[in-house]
Structure 1
Amino acid sequence: MPLTFTRSVAGHRGRAPLADLPLMLVAPALFAANMVAARWAESAAIPPVFLAFGRWALAFAIFFPFVAARVRAHRALLRAHAPDLALLAVLGMGLTVAPQYIGAQETSATNVALIFAACPALVALIEALVWRAPVGSVRAAGMSLAIWGVLLVLTRGDLAALGRLAFGRGDLWVLGAACAWSLYTVLGRRRALGALPGEVKLAALIAGGALALAPFAALELASGAVPDFGDGRLYAALVFLAIVPSLGAYFCYDRLVERVGAAGASMSMYLIPLYAALAAWPLLGEVPAFFHVAGFALILGGVALAGLQKRR
């Protein structure tokens, strides 16, 4: 049965801005699942680049049979947009994921979340410098409110703890991943790919990401970093990553970019560290504290306020 995911952007311009709020809440929850699963995968000693490659390769194997007919029907458009699709795949599926997994081995989850919380500012900066897009006072206010919520959660209510954060080699890997994600967000909005159905575009990006990572995963294996193929946790991690933060999260985020724009969609990134902290409650036995509740209120308010920004 053919899948049809994405409608024309123009068909949504008359919708109320807050109609997109549910999507702004769901997309970051799916991305947060990536961080939790990646931390869990470390117990199985899965090499980071292999993990990144494996998730995209498996995601393509799962997804392609459902969209093969539509991919063949749009092969001419795929060839015409091949350079743009390749660039987006390298940025969003390659340079965002593998460096994040590499960096997570050498830095704290707090630092990872804090660095990725800077993505909305990077997106707004890129659009302002390259395309001279105004940030807007409402969106700026929402960004400010949300970032205070993020900092409140990350510092466990002690904002003075920010002065004690140290940035090492792992943090630089994650910073590179955050920059790649910001570029992916902006270019995903700016590149003229609207004629491609959403599922066809997603299949092409997933395939491109797997192909881009394949040689680096092979080099990693050749260096001696070989996963234990007899460990069931390897396959559990790959299946989860392929379905939830790969197919689910990227589709939701790309659709959000189409509906509210790159800067508006990037505001949802503020919810990722909060969701990750909440997931640690049932999985790791960490009970949420008052600063979680206060941070959630600030972040949710900031995301809602940003959603009120008039679309360009």
Structure 2
Amino acid sequence: MRRYLLSPYLILLGPPIFWAVNAVVSRAFISDALPPLALSFWRWASAFLLLLPFTYRDLIRHAGEIRRQWRYLTALALLSISTYNSFFYLALETTPAINAVLVAASMPILIVLIAWAWGGGRPRGLELIGVVLSFVGLLLVVGRGDLAIFLGLRLHVGDLYVLIANLTWAIYSVWLRHRPVKLPPLTFLAVLCGIGFPFILPFYVWEMAEGRFVDPSWVNFLVILFTAIFPAILAVVAWNRGVAQVGPAVAGQFSYLTPVFATVLAVSFLGEILRWYHIAGMALIFAGIALATTRMIGRPQPSDSAGKSGRT
């Protein structure tokens, strides 16, 4: 039972669930009362403070290794902590949800291409078919069964923000697999948070200089706390572990599940009706993931440094 609970494929279901809830919650609450860069800064600052009591001993113990690998860790922190979520939250404020989801669908494709360019091996036929199937399934869900709806879409500056966010996360995911740093999962994330959130501060200050401040309400406090615990700490730890075990290209396929889980949440809690295109789109997405992961099932787990001793 423990083996199945720790299966990388089961673990990789966690991030899209948390990201789906994050997209819904953030879209609902990002406003003049909770500006995007403020949310990004306080999300990761809070995540760092929450992790610190559990990781400070390891941080002290591994201080020498952290200093030796500071360039690598800083690069990962800039890609994931500082850049990805900041641009994602900016996008949620400046582009329609349908545009954001469509551009976000580029992430698995970017991961496959970057992994290939990085020497990760040419993607196989089943993997490419899986990517295409999942993408078509995503179009069905987002377009509500009417693909003609995409002909009327207009580009927004937020679409560029999503693309930048996806590119940084794709590079992070590929680079993560080959990391030389040997740290426990929570300690590794604490290091990234501690390095990454101060880089958001200048842009947060610029946002305040524009007259946009956080309303110190209980609602905003709970939103920040939620984003720090679930889409930040739990989702990133699960993603890191999944990438370490099955590789960035296979893990990237699971990001297609984000709109699927968002649909399930909408049907369950918002009273929306489950339509045929939801079911068909979900079936195609799951079929695509199954094809893309077929060659990995049954193989021994990789023994690179990212996957040893349960590290992520």
TM-score, with normalisation over the residues of structure 1?
Answer: 0.89
> What is the alpha-carbon distance in structure 2 between the residues aligned to residue 261 and residue 234 of structure 1?
36
Instruction: Provide Cα deviations, 1:12-68, integer angstroms capped at 9, x if missing partner.
Output: xxx99x943212222211121210120121367311001000000111111110111
How many residues align? The count is 295
> What is the alpha-carbon distance in structure 2 between the residues aligned to residue 287 and residue 272 of structure 1?
18
| Structure 1 match to 2:280 | 294
Q: Does 1:118 align with 2:106?
A: yes
Task: Tell me if structure 2 keeps the 8 A contact 1:44–1:233.
Answer: no
> What is the alpha-carbon distance in structure 1 between the residues aligned to residue 274 and residue 235 of structure 2?
25
The aligned amino acid for 1:271 is: L
Q: Does 1:273 align with 2:259?
A: yes
| Structure 2 match to 1:79 | 67
Q: Does 1:210 align with 2:214?
A: no
Task: Tell me if structure 2 keeps the 8 A contact 1:32–1:272.
Answer: yes
1:144: how far off? 1.5
Instruction: Provide Cα deviations, 1:281-300, integer angstroms capped at 9, x if missing partner.
Output: 34433222111111111111
Task: Tell me if structure 1 keeps the 8 A contact 2:267–2:273.
Answer: yes
1:208-287 to 2 correspondence within 5 Å? 208-229=195-216, 231-287=217-273
Instruction: Provide Cα deviations, 1:176-233, integer angstroms capped at 9, x if missing partner.
Output: 111111111111113322x22222111111112211111211221122111111x221
Q: Does 1:139 align with 2:127?
A: yes
Instruction: Provide Cα deviations, 1:249-305, integer angstroms capped at 9, x if missing partner.
Output: 000000000010011111111001111222223443322211111111111121122
> What is the alpha-carbon distance in structure 1 between the residues aligned to residue 249 and residue 144 of structure 2?
27
Match of 1:66 among 24, 35, 54: 54
Task: Tell me if structure 1 keeps the 8 A contact 2:9–2:242.
Answer: no
Task: Tell me if structure 2 keeps the 8 A contact 1:136–1:309.
Answer: no
Query: RMSD of aligned C-alpha atoms?
Result: 1.9
1:121: how far off? 0.8
Q: Percent identity?
A: 35
3-state SS in 2 of match to 1:105:
helix
Structure 1 gap segments, 5+ residues each: 1-14
> What is the alpha-carbon distance in structure 1 between the residues aligned to residue 134 and residue 242 of structure 2?
18
Task: Tell me if structure 2 keeps the 8 A contact 1:100–1:177.
Answer: yes
> What is the alpha-carbon distance in structure 2 between the residues aligned to residue 156 and residue 76 of structure 1?
53
3-state SS in 2 of match to 1:97:
helix
Match of 1:89 among 69, 72, 77: 77
1:69: how far off? 0.7
> What is the alpha-carbon distance in structure 1 between the residues aligned to residue 240 and residue 109 of structure 2?
18
Task: Tell me if structure 1 keeps the 8 A contact 2:88–2:165.
Answer: yes
